[in-house]
Structure 1
């Protein structure tokens, strides 16, 4: 490894003491990374004063921008009154009561209760435990297996990491655990067969789900977990007819549906929840990220009576519901979340995501004229640009991910922070982005893709 003297002072300290998530530790030690020092709106500034467009909203999460004074004030007000309290043993506090009521009221389908956690991973872990706890309560101790999709992202804890369908989340960690089953990713561009219509692809995926349930035994399957659209797996839009067909299979075998709204929730798709956009009727909804614009860690699991009733009765038989987190539903985080939701509603940011999303997708679709662009996909203010070396075969360049890395580097040169997911470039700007800022971002994206095309096809 290189000497630390090659790095800036801040990067040197960071590399010396900090093990980063989703990072090559040796590469970070050798090269360091960007250290951010302040932010304004959709922009973040690094230690050298360079101004960058945060085109992924941090981690798909900063809906109202990076320096919203109302969220700062909400945190300070709550901190001065009740800086911490918990919700164990029949205790509670006003921000938590108000936030739970607000989330039940906002839910796109009838819901009953909210359980608060600190991250999407913890909320999904809680959902897994509720599936198991409920099965025991109903005298169905075998009904514990859970089905998800390849390329799905549901978190990285032992339970939620088992839900996630990504090899790099499993590798080295002995995941997934037994009882977690993964099926074909619902990505028509990559998984559809030659000559297969999109609706037929959905029918095939529903039949695959049905066959797995029959093979494993319907009485052994507790739940199906899914994102309305897959976010970190590449911004994968469900194919035509997909959700209608999948829900019909689940209803046939009395299997719970858990909608992971961690990325889709609070306006990202141009509807308040992805479940509304895709007409999904979940039994549980997992919320985080844009719930507080990630100003403070908070997440929530919203459940219906079908889940709550047996769980409540079992807790009475046992004397307690033996699950909870010290900071789950923290009063300061809850107060910030309430203010964040108020801003989203008052400023019409959901409708803004729909309108500006149409503008973004219309302009991105023109990139399909580039020889290196195979697909443009997404809805609202979330999108992905799939890069290929050959459009007819959809083949990568040399190795999967190389084109995506080239595009990410071309964007970084233009001070755009985003992420390549394999050979797809993801875009997920804050909901507060203006038309002028969006056009500026898209201009930089167009220039970067053009540079990659010229590099590949100049000869």
Structure 2
């Protein structure tokens, strides 16, 4: 697409951007110096900017554009729904067919006890809903003392007050608002490279799960409402737990009657190579959250899926549940989600990715283990992380002030790849429709970027 005559050039858009648009998770003083990259078009796994540069989106947006950019079927689904029913609120005993169809579809894809769905617009809102559900459940069950939530270090659950409190990324707690809230407690996560040296994966998985039991006993089981965790952690640096971790977590939650909340906002809809992370790891949550890939990022939508244990109590004992959002179950968002799920299903995108791409992705990630900058190379499904270290023997990290991850990200972008720095872990989450040849190109650029970064910082093999 060419810009219309008289349209702004890149510098003009950057001037307006600096003047008016505050970006999320951004150093705005730094942005004023560099200017934003202005995206204008997307197709498949590529995004083009106002300079005509084509970028491979190695991040699927933010782990959401699973079926790639430019699928006209989703545009058609949105347009047809807007013409038929552009908006419908879900308050005052009102419903509409598209939300009902999507709720039924989602529950049909999940384990049999997950039978009720509450819709929101973002993962942050879904996590707010989940925590309010858990508190309300225990109040109705006559255990109002169960008010505390346990989450993990390096977790990401969103940016609203409660969701940011649940998140275990320290800079989020410095952003104002007395975060984390006092009813949230954190434990170490299943990060074997940093916390499990000398243990095999199976042993470490059990040890890491045991940190939850220790915290429950410290706080008192009668005070703990729920444990919330992502099946695997994306923003924390592509942290992938051993196979022994989740069965032990589940056993501990059941032993102490603590609700288990699985945040699948990133992992859902194929990221692990399965439709949902719970199928990859054998998780049976009381509550789970979905988002991002539910519409492949084409429209904002999230879902909180509620197990029968919690839903039955809420419905039978709860009276009016005074919680909701103006855009809960927005018709157009639900229509796009239904079409997105149809495409994923009928084109076997997740199954094909699992069979073809996931083995290639795993081999590609692991091929970086010998790079002089990389201390750990880890992945699950189509999410991988390459952790940069200063000393591979001691696992010493670079000082924060070095911003080595940011430097590597910039080197990759110059070469045409969006390659995210989560601290000093370089993360990849390519769209599920990536081809083997495109995947090879992604890894080739990633290696070039790491080589250039090593040269800049004076690192040799």
Q: Which residue of 1 aligns with 2:191?
A: 187
- Tell me the residue number matched to 1:387: 388
Unaligned regions of 5+ residues in structure 2, if any? 1-8
CA contact (8 A) 2:225 2:259 kept: yes
**Which stretch shifts more, 285-294 or 26-35?**
26-35
Aligned equivalent of 1:457, options 437, 455, 459 = 459
Mean CA deviation greater in 234-243 or 333-342:
234-243
Q: Displaced runs of 4+ in structure 1, greater than 6 A?
A: none
Is residue 280 of structure 2 the alignment partner of residue 257 of structure 1? no
In 2, are the aligned partners of 1:108 and 1:275 still within 8 Å (CA)?
A: no
Match of 1:417 in 2: 418
Q: 2: CA distance between counterparts of 1:184 and 1:366?
A: 28
CA contact (8 A) 2:47 2:57 kept: yes
Kindly indicate whether the alpha-carbon contact (under 8 Å) linking 1:396 and 1:403 is maintained by their aligned counterparts in 2: no
Contact 1:226/1:259 (<8 A) preserved: yes
Verify: 1:90 aligned to 2:128, yes or no.
Answer: no
Give the whole-Å Cα distance in 1 for the aligned partners of 2:280 and 2:269. 12
Structure 1 residues not aligned, in runs of 5+: 1-5
1:406 alignment partner in structure 2: 407
1:178 to 173, 178, 182: 182
Counterpart secondary structure, 1:452: helix
The match for 2:315 among 306, 312, 317 is: 312
SS of the equivalent of 1:258 reads strand
Encode CA deviations 1:205-235: one digit per residue, 9 max, x unaligned: 2332212111211111010000000111111
Give the whole-Å Cα distance in 1 for the aligned partners of 2:460 and 2:45. 34
- The answer as to 2:355 corresponding to 1:351 is no
Q: TM-score, normalised by structure 2?
A: 0.95
> Aligned pairs, how many?
450
Aligned to 1:3: none
User: Does 2:362 match 1:361?
Assistant: yes
1:131 aligns with 2:120: no
- Residues 338 and 129 (structure 1), Cα distance of their counterparts in 2 relative to 1, 3 Å cut: same
| Distance (whole Å) between structure 1 residues aligned to residue 381 and residue 80 of structure 2 | 33
1:238-277 map, 5 Å? 238-277=241-280
List aligned pairs for 1:316-331, cutoff 5 A. Answer: 316=319, 320-331=320-331
Q: Cα RMSD (Å) of the superposition?
A: 1.6
**CA offset at residue 364 of structure 1?**
2.3
Matched, 1:341 2:341: yes
Q: CA deviation at 1:20?
A: 0.8
Deviation at 1:140, TM superposition (A): 0.8
Shift, 1:7, TM fit: 7.9
Q: CA separation in 2, counterparts of 1:172 and 1:449?
A: 31
**Post-superposition CA distance 1:268-291 (Å, at most 9, x none):** 111000110011111111000000
Deviations 1:294-318 (A, max 9, x none): 11110000011111011112333xx
Alpha-carbon distance in structure 2 between the residues aligned to 1:443 and 1:360: 12
Return the alpha-carbon distance in structure 1 between the equivalents of residues 142 and 314 of structure 2.
Answer: 12
- Is the contact between residue 243 and residue 281 of structure 2 (CA under 8 Å) also seen in structure 1? no
The separation in 2 between residues aligned to 1:322 and 1:374, in whole angstroms, is 49
Work out the CA distance in 1 between the residues paired with 2:460 and 2:169. 34
Q: Residue deviations 1:358-383, cap 9 Å, x none? A: 11221221111211111111122111
Aligned to 2:53: 50
Distance 2:185 2:402 in 1: 26
C-alpha separation between the residues in 2 aligned to 1:15 and 1:399?
26
Answer with 349-358 or 53-62: which moved more: 349-358
Deviates more, 1:199-208 or 1:341-350: 199-208
Paired residue secondary structure (1:341): helix
2:285 maps to what in 1? Answer: 282
Aligned residue number for residue 116 of structure 2: 113
